């Protein structure tokens, strides 16, 4: 019988036995030396490890004995980001962690069917879904002893209240609409799962799920300098594992919501990475390796879990999507026909003139759009709108899907992770962004940007892609797309300081279509 990973917000009370056993096991693991493969710190270092940062935050003492260099090279600093291995690696990582926690729970006299809970912060039916669960806010357990799930500096160094509520825009699930798992190296489109890479511990373009909600949830919890805001520290926060349990759940949600949603079938992914296998410790301290194909079935003996709820949370569709759904209702083969008819190309529409620096105030950027490329976008939307009527008269015609339009924020660099910005496109002159949620393209978070800005990791920072098809479609309807240039506003929603040196190399907009 598969163990059930449950929604922490739907448990009987904030200190449900599942949570209490988690806290007790974490407490035991935190007592172990960092050299122990089943210790809290060793497991966190598998995700990322920076000795200077760990010492600054009090998680490593100067001169403390570490695992051998060989063990560090095999097990530590493995997290896969900006990569099509983002989801399979984190699934395997959670499974290894869960097995060690479960073994500790059984040793303490707990249930053998315990499973890691998840935090469904995107649950629109729960007004409190975005509140950090109570068990992470309380300094003590119900019996009055210290709570291992509580951190004094969860939100960095500025002593913010421990009560944290995620911002609504950080938990959006628009990525679930992406039809493809694999993105392109340029991020146009990003794909749900990210671009094809080898073993990857660097920067580049993230996939849709990593862009949102994964990254902003990290920085929303960690703030400036908090553990969750930096990949080299994040695994030290007990919230990390509950957050990633939900991210893993959203992989299954994506697969379930549309039969066309499929994992990659290439050997490069299934058998990969070939340049360095993923390595994890067992509860007895020994190690093992795995590849992507080993973690595809959560009910397989090596994983043995299911989620309490993997239903589709999205209701309704964009105007562009509704057009294609209408066409599909008229012509049952429309989806296959339109897909086969297309060989989409990526074309630059426009870009801003120079790199920009971000800070504590709103930054404006403008992009002059190429007339020929812009007219192609206009024509594609007009053609899709007219296609339904044409299909009624000629059912055998296969329509052309409308263009998709993407905003690319390239080479985001910084010295401190934790910044979060809301990105607005096409706002009216002088408009208050908060009054125009329909112009919100998305949220970018600096999670991982600090490390990717370092020379030893390439120094190019990270890049993020936001789909703005619906916004551009409305601009076409309102005849404002012809009003060049296209404006972009980046509004900070977290603490940023000048010496964080947050910069964006270029902001560009692309069409993806015929």
Segments making up each domain of the chain, as ranges: 3-307, 319-513
Among 469, 466, 511, CA closest to 489: 466
| CA 441 – CA 472 distance, rounded (Å) | 10
Residues 87-138: pLDDT tens digits? 999 999 999 999 999 999 999 999 999 999 999 999 999 999 999 999 999 9
Confidence check: pLDDT of 338 > 60: no
**DSSP assignment of 477-511, as one string?**
HTT-TTSSSEEEEEEE-S---GGG-EEEEEEEEEE
SS3 call for 268: helix
Residues 453-476: pLDDT tens digits? 998 888 999 999 999 999 999 998
Q: Give mean pLDDT, residues 359-376.
A: 93
Please state the φ and ψ torsions of residue 129, each to the nearest 5 degrees.
-60, -30
- Structure confidence at residue 297 as a pLDDT band (50, 70, 90): very high
Confidence check: pLDDT of 334 > 50: no
Confidence check: pLDDT of 330 > 70: no
Confidence check: pLDDT of 15 > 80: yes
Query: Domain 3-307: which topology?
Result: di-copper center containing domain from catechol oxidase (1.10.1280)
* Higher pLDDT, residue 290 or 482: 290
- Structure confidence at residue 343 as a pLDDT band (50, 70, 90): confident
Helix (H) or strand (E) holding 257: helix 239-257
Assign residue 507 a region (left: φ > 0; alpha: ψ between -120 and 50; beta: otherwise): beta
Mean pLDDT of the chain: 90
Nearest-10 Cα torsion for 320, 324, 327, 333: 170
């Amino acid at each position: 019988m598969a163990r059930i990973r449950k929604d922490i917000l739907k448990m009987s009370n904030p200190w449900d036995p599942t949570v209490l056993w988690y806290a007790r096991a974490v407490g035991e693991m935190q007592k172990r030396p960092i050299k122990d493969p089943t210790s809290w710190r060793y497991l966190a270092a598998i995700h990322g490890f920076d000795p200077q940062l760990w010492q600054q935050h009090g998680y490593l003492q100067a001169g403390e004995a570490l695992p051998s260099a060989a063990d560090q090279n095999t097990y530590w600093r493995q997290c896969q980001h900006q990569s099509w291995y983002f989801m399979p690696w984190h699934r395997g990582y959670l499974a290894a962690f869960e097995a060690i926690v479960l073994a500790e729970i059984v040793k303490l006299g707990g249930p053998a069917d315990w499973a890691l809970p998840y935090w469904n912060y995107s649950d629109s039916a729960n007004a409190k879904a975005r509140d950090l669960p109570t068990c992470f806010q309380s300094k003590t357990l119900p019996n009055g002893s210290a709570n291992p799930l509580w951190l004094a500096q969860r939100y960095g160094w500025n002593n913010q209240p421990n009560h944290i509520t995620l911002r609504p825009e950080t938990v959006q699930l628009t990525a679930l609409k992406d039809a493809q798992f694999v993105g392109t190296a340029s991020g146009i489109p990003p794909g749900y799962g990210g671009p094809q890479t080898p073993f990857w511990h660097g920067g580049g373009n993230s996939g849709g799920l990593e862009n949102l909600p994964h990254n902003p949830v990290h920085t929303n919890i960690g703030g400036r300098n908090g553990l969750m805001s930096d990949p080299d520290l994040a695994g030290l926060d007990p919230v990390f594992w509950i957050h990633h349990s939900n991210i893993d759940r959203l992989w299954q949600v994506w697969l379930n919501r549309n039969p066309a949603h499929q994992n990659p079938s290439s050997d490069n992914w299934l058998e990969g990475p070939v340049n360095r296998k993923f390595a994890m410790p067992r509860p007895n301290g020994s190690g093992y390796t795995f590849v992507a194909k080993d973690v595809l079935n959560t009910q397989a003996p090596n994983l043995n879990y299911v989620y309490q709820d993997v239903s589709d949370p999205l209701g309704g569709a964009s105007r562009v999507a509704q057009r294609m759904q209408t066409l599909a209702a008229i012509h049952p083969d429309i989806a296959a026909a339109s897909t086969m008819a297309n060989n989409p190309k990526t074309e630059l529409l426009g870009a801003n003139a120079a790199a920009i620096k971000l800070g504590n105030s709103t930054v404006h950027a403008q992009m002059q759009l190429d007339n020929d490329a812009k007219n192609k976008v206009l024509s594609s939307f007009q053609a899709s709108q007219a296609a339904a009527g044409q299909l009624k008269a000629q059912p055998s015609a296969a329509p052309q899907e409308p263009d998709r339009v993407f905003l690319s924020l390239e080479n985001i660099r910084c010295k401190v992770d934790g910044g979060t910005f809301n990105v607005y496109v096409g706002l009216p002159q002088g408009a208050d962004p908060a009054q125009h949620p329909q112009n919100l393209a998305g949220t970018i978070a600096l999670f991982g940007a600090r490390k990717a800005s370092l020379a030893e990791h390439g120094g190019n920072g990270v890049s993020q892609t936001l789909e703005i098809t619906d916004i551009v479609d409305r601009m076409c309807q309102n005849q404002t797309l012809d009003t060049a240039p296209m404006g972009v506003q980046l509004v900070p929603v977290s603490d940023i300081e000048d010496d964080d040196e947050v910069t964006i190399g270029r902001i560009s907009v692309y069409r993806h279509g015929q």
